[in-house]
Amino acid sequence: MRKCRCLVFICLCFVMCCALSACGGQEASQPEAGRIDTFIIGTTAEISSAKRSVYNFDVLTGTLSQLAPVWVDADGVYHPLLCTYSTEDSRTWILTVREGMTWHDGQPVSAADIQFTLEYLDSQNGGGYADSYEDIRLVDERTIALELAEPNPRHLASLTTLRILPKHIYQDVTDDSALPSDEANIGCGPYRFVRFDADAGVLAFDAYDAYPDGQPMVEHVLFRLFDNEDTMYMALKSGEIDMVYRYSSGVSTAVLEDLQRTEQISLLPIRNTANSAVLIFNNQVSPFDNEKIRQALACAIDYARFRELFGSPYALASEAGFIPPGTYGYVQTQTLERDLQLAAAYLQEAGCTDSDDDGYLEYQGQPLCVEVMVRDDKPVHARYAELLMNNLAEVGIAVQIDVQEVAAFRELTEQQHAHAAVITGLTAFGMAKNQGLAALYLWGENSMSYGQVYDEDYKALLDQADAAANMEEYALVAAEIQQYYADTLPAIALFWDSHIQAFNSRYSGFVEDGTFGLLNVQTWFSLQAE
């Protein structure tokens, strides 16, 4: 009996040893003569399958294997990527596919692929691509002319995320899930898609030998998919992954301090043209239809405390012009600062009094109580509202926080405009939409207008932005629009913050892209390992 037990124990030990030795660890990144063999990126992006219709997968492939016609740098300047471009009147845009660009199956990329992509995306998404042009003409094998109905100097902005599809693969495909993933993911970037392993939580890409700009610095790029941020940051600290990435976002401020203390991790702030903490007034309803009240609120907010409590060490003081630095056409306006005396003076000018001496003001015979709506899926927005409540109580304004479920929030704000004020975050994409400069969120006739601004002066400025013949003209109007915001304060940025990117300190040479941040085609050609 005793011998039998010993035998079982020895067998168990042997099996465990076999198991452990068989999987003695993952392949480490081994730099070779300045080049990098494997670069592993951790992400919490949810990817269920390797299909282009899966948003997060499509975004990640846009940094490696699928190319858009152009890319935009951190200063808002556009550069050729898949195509070179030219225009004489900002109305007709000529795109020419760069010499030597081929699909990963060897077929050359042609202008017909661009035309096909626009038409295909229209059929899949119900419009907004080919139908946004008045005319699309194939000039030659590699050149296409896209003609807009009106001149638009900012048109290239919409081409930075238009990832071109291979016509010869997709022309008879209505549902991309029917395509095998190796075919569906044929791209034309410096990397080709290799595999998606759901059990290992890995997306793998290998360098594409025939890319016309030569071999990228990294041979294999792997994405490790994490469901949990804490695990991902632990993996970064232990060196298991080389970098963390999330599209249009940065490292969570909660872990910044810890990462800063870790020697082998580098943090790099990159420009953020999103406005991630804003207070937007409904400029059509009382009391926010009164400019003096808006001015008073702007003076009562403790911006330094907002940065201290919620911002990263790289957070910036916001300005009255509302548009963050890094946005094309940004001009510096007055920095927002707390001044309680000035706030009290504005409130007095607006006709606010404290007739019952309870410490809270009345406006037009009613208690001055401001209702601020926030979404329930963004708990930090409720925290902003709580600090705002404390700040405004000091000047005698009561704040009521209204937490709404996302669908109800959208219905009440975007459809019914039944809000008095909202605290929310505005995406970089949304900030740049329509005429740019947050017009989508502020001009009253737009679908997502939280600001409900119907001022004719503002409308005239937006029309001028639409009519700008080139980027220089647009920049002049942009400056005027920011001055308009600074003068009338239809919305207030509570603070501005950078997207902090974290990566292993042994890497350098990252290039900043205005769309994708540090992960982009340029980075793969300049990345260096120590």
Partner 1 sequence: MKKKLLISFFCLLFILVFNFALPRLLPGDTVLMLVGMDEDVVSENEYAYYVEKTGADRPLAEQFASYLRGILQGDLGYSYHHNAPVEQLIAQRVPATLQIALPAVLLSALLALVLGCYAGMRKGSGMERMISTLQITVDAIPGFLLGLLLLSLFAFHLGWFPSGALNSIVVPAATLPAWGDRIWHLCLPVLTLVLGSVPAKYLLVCNTVAQQMQEKYVLYARSRGLSDSYIVWHHILPNICQPFIAMVGMNMGFIFSGSLVIETIFSIRGLGSLLDQAIRSRDYPLLQGCLLVSAVVVVVANLLTDVLCVALDPKVRCRIHEAE
Verify binding: residue 197, partner 1, rule CB under 8 A. yes
Cβ closest to partner 1, residue 15 vs residue 77:
15
Verify binding: residue 390, partner 1, rule CB under 8 A. no
Verify binding: residue 1, partner 1, rule CB under 8 A. no
CB of 163: closest distance to partner 1 in angstroms?
20
Query: Is there a contact between 69 and 117 (Cβ–Cβ < 8 Å)?
Result: no
CB of 443: closest distance to partner 1 in angstroms?
19
Verify binding: residue 28, partner 1, rule CB under 8 A. no
Verify binding: residue 400, partner 1, rule CB under 8 A. no
CB of 236: closest distance to partner 1 in angstroms?
10
Residues in 53-82 that interact with partner 1 by CB under 8 A: 53
Among the listed ranges 150-158, 222-230, 286-294, 474-482, the one in contact with partner 1 (CB under 8 A) is 222-230
Residue of 8, 10, 18, 469 interacting with partner 1 (CB under 8 A): 18
Verify binding: residue 265, partner 1, rule CB under 8 A. no
Joined tokens for residue 152? 């638009």
Write down the H helix ranges in 313-403. 340-349, 379-393
Residue of 11, 12, 149, 198 interacting with partner 1 (CB under 8 A): 198
Question: Using CA atoms, how far apart are residues 17 and 14, in angstroms rounded to an integer?
Answer: 5
Verify binding: residue 125, partner 1, rule CB under 8 A. no
According to DSSP, the residues that pair with 84 across neighbouring strands are: 96
Verify binding: residue 393, partner 1, rule CB under 8 A. no
Instruction: Output the CA–CA distances (angstroms, integers) from residue 251 to 56, 114, 218, 269, 501, in the order listed.
Output: 17, 35, 23, 10, 6
Query: Is there a contact between 169 and 114 (Cβ–Cβ < 8 Å)?
Result: no
Find the helix packing angle between 291-300 and 340-349, rounded to 10°: 160
Query: Is there a contact between 204 and 50 (Cβ–Cβ < 8 Å)?
Result: no
Among the listed ranges 58-66, 228-236, 256-264, 395-403, the one in contact with partner 1 (CB under 8 A) is 228-236
Residue of 148, 173, 235, 309 interacting with partner 1 (CB under 8 A): 235
Query: Is there a contact between 62 and 163 (Cβ–Cβ < 8 Å)?
Result: yes
Query: Is there a contact between 155 and 66 (Cβ–Cβ < 8 Å)?
Result: no
Nearest to 435 by CA among 410, 413, 460, 457: 460
Residue of 138, 145, 202, 467 interacting with partner 1 (CB under 8 A): 202
Cβ closest to partner 1, residue 176 vs residue 497:
176
Nearest to 390 by CA among 451, 291, 276, 305: 305
List residues binding partner 1 (CB under 8 A): 18-20, 22-23, 25-27, 46, 48, 53, 126, 177, 197-202, 204, 222, 224-228, 230-231, 234-235, 237-238, 240, 406-407, 410-411, 414-415
